[in-house]
Structure 1
Amino acid sequence: MYRKAAVKGYFYPENSNELISFFENHTYGGEKIDGVMALVPHAGYIYSGAIAVKTISRLNIKDKILLLGPNHTGFGEKIALYPEGAWETPFGDVDVCSTLNNKLLNISYISEDIIAHVREHSLEVVLPILKYFKKNFSFSAITMMPMRYEECISLAREIYENIKDEDVLIIVSSDFNHYENAEVTEKKDMLAIQQILNLNSKKLYDTVFDNSISMCGIYPLIVGMEIAKLFKADNALLVEHTHSGVINNEFSQVVGYAGIIIY
């Protein structure tokens, strides 16, 4: 199957030269990290693209990538894997990894599904950045609807067991708190970020729900963190945290964004 880009010209420019200029302005110039997992935001590039670029440009990007993100549309399967094929980006198409897909389909929780992905932006917006920094790679894409913590842990273990022999970079897509004022959002976001940096997924899950933190990618993040830990990752780096008010000067209702690398 071929997935046409759904949000180009809306969430990000469709002109590759515009993208190159934007990416060059925000590329990290220091030593790269052999990350196991990275968390990046998925709002329009004008709001969160800089953090996503700063985070991804710090990584040694592997040949195979597992993208995990939330399902915002409510359509399709609960845990939806995009079938084999390719996705459109302004820098050329990116192939779905048949090797990873075949292994992921051994898991009963996961269903092949196009409907969950066709209008979903959370994973699409990450691909142009990855394609810019890594010319040749393939990927598997999974979107998730809400799950209990125990379901997240079980899914993470099954994914790990099926891909543990692969050299895979996991990219999780999530924004942080939504549509509260800047002061509240900064406090709430840092409560969640501290638990991510502690690599404590249970406390992260509890913190998000106990404090009503409207973090849209909490489920894929829990799954990604637990897979990373099974791959023996034991460190986390906060690249940057900000919110939309910094861009639009509207501080009464902001959305929080962060880039984090687990390695």
Structure 2
Amino acid sequence: MNVSVRPPAVAGIFYPAIADALARVIDGLLAGAAGGDVLATHAPKALIVPHAGYVYSGEMAAKAFACLLPFAGRIRRVVLLGPTHRVPVRGLAAPTAMVSAFATPLGEVPLNTRALDAVADLPQVTHSDAVHAWEHSLEVQLPFLQTVLGRFELVPLVVGESDAEAVADVLDQLWGGEETLIVISSDLSHYHAYDKACRIDSATLARMLALATDIRNVEACGATPVNGLLLAAQRHGLTARALGLCNSGDTAGDRSRVVGYTALALSAAIHER
């Protein structure tokens, strides 16, 4: 069987296409985030991270990935879910067996075929390379992960028409131990005026922190995978911690039509004695 590598689709658009330039951008973003709210004593099991161009949401994304720095040596597998933007799909789309790795300008990330095989028979899981070919919601997370983790294996799933229960069931199957990190890719509200967006996104973030599972697509473009993670977090006893909240009007856009961004880290609850 001939296998192939999924090439980068949005390099040069969402982030730099030249490896040295990309590395400098990510190093700078992580350096800016590392002095902030890093979970230095408790490893996150899951992250919720925005997926816009780095000029817009890169600072917020870096807040999430900086949380991994003290624990990077433990993480060998990343389960990465994000919403489909270009190709409609029912359920969760995995790559076909023809794809062996995803590439960015920083190199190739091998797929964890054993994990993909473990969920292949679930009715909500389908296979489509077309869904993955131009999807940016997963791709933009990879250079950050490559920089922070070094070598790891990827379990990429693009989420289309589904529900929280179906997504949570897939996450339960892939949960693993400390070697497995779950990353959910999602922005918040889209194209409201700045003040209105701030009110909407603050309310959405509060519900995420409460592990609500009824986030709507107009509140977060990745609402379905977000809701699935929050349901799984309830099942596994995780708590959520906000790392930041902003929108494109705070970073590189005008304030008449903004997109919201947040970063959350979810980890096992700490019980004080």
Higher mean C-alpha displacement, 106-115 vs 52-61: 52-61
Superposition CA RMSD, Å: 1.8
Which residue identity does 1:222 align to in structure 2? N
Q: Distance in 2 between matches of 1:154 and 1:20?
A: 36
Quick check: 1:3–1:118 contact (8 Å CA) kept in 2?
yes
* Distance of 1:165 and 1:45 partners within structure 2: 30
Q: 1:154 to 1:7 in 2, by over 3 A?
A: closer
Matched position secondary structure for 1:93 = strand
Q: 1:115-151: per-residue Cα shift (whole Å, max 9, x none)? A: 111011000000011001111100111111233xxx3
For 1:119 and 1:240, the matched residues in 2 are separated by 28
Structure 1 pair 74/58, CA: closer, same or farther in 2 (3 Å)? same
Q: Would you say the 8 A contact 2:171–2:229 is kept in 1?
A: no
1:17 aligned to 2:28? no
Most deviating of 26-35 and 187-196: 26-35
User: Distance in 2 between the 1:78 and 1:54 partners?
Assistant: 30
Partners in 1 of 2:253 and 2:84 — Cα distance? Answer: 29
Superposition TM-score, scaled by structure 1 size: 0.89
1:163 aligns with 2:193: no
Contact kept in structure 2, 1:68 and 1:224, CA below 8 Å: no
Q: Distance between the aligned counterparts of 2:259 and 2:200, measured in 1? A: 11
Decide which moves more: 15-24 or 87-96: 15-24
Q: Deviations over 1:60-117 (max 9, x none)?
A: 3411111110001134554201234101112110001112101111311101211111
Counterpart of 2:242, as a letter, is L
- Output the TM-score relative to the length of structure 2: 0.86
Gaps of 5+ in 1: none
Task: Give the total of aligned pairs.
Answer: 251
- Bigger drift between 123-132 and 14-23 goes to 14-23
Q: Is the 8 A contact 2:124 2:166 kept in 1?
A: no
| Correspondence 1:174 to 2:186 | yes
Structure 1 runs of 4+ aligned residues shifted over 4 Å read none
Please state if 1:237 is matched with 2:230.
no
- In 2, distance between residues paired with 1:2 and 1:104? 21
Q: What secondary structure, in the 3-state scheme, does the structure 2 residue paired with 1:122 have?
A: helix
Q: Residue 219 of structure 1: which of 221, 224, 234 is its match?
A: 224
What do residues 208-259 of structure 1 show as CA deviations (whole Å, max 9, x unaligned)?
37xxx342100011112222333331x2111111111123351110000111
Cα–Cα, structure 1 residues 193 and 38, in superposed 2: closer, same or farther, change >3 Å?
Answer: same
Separation in 2 of the partners of 1:21 and 1:163? 33
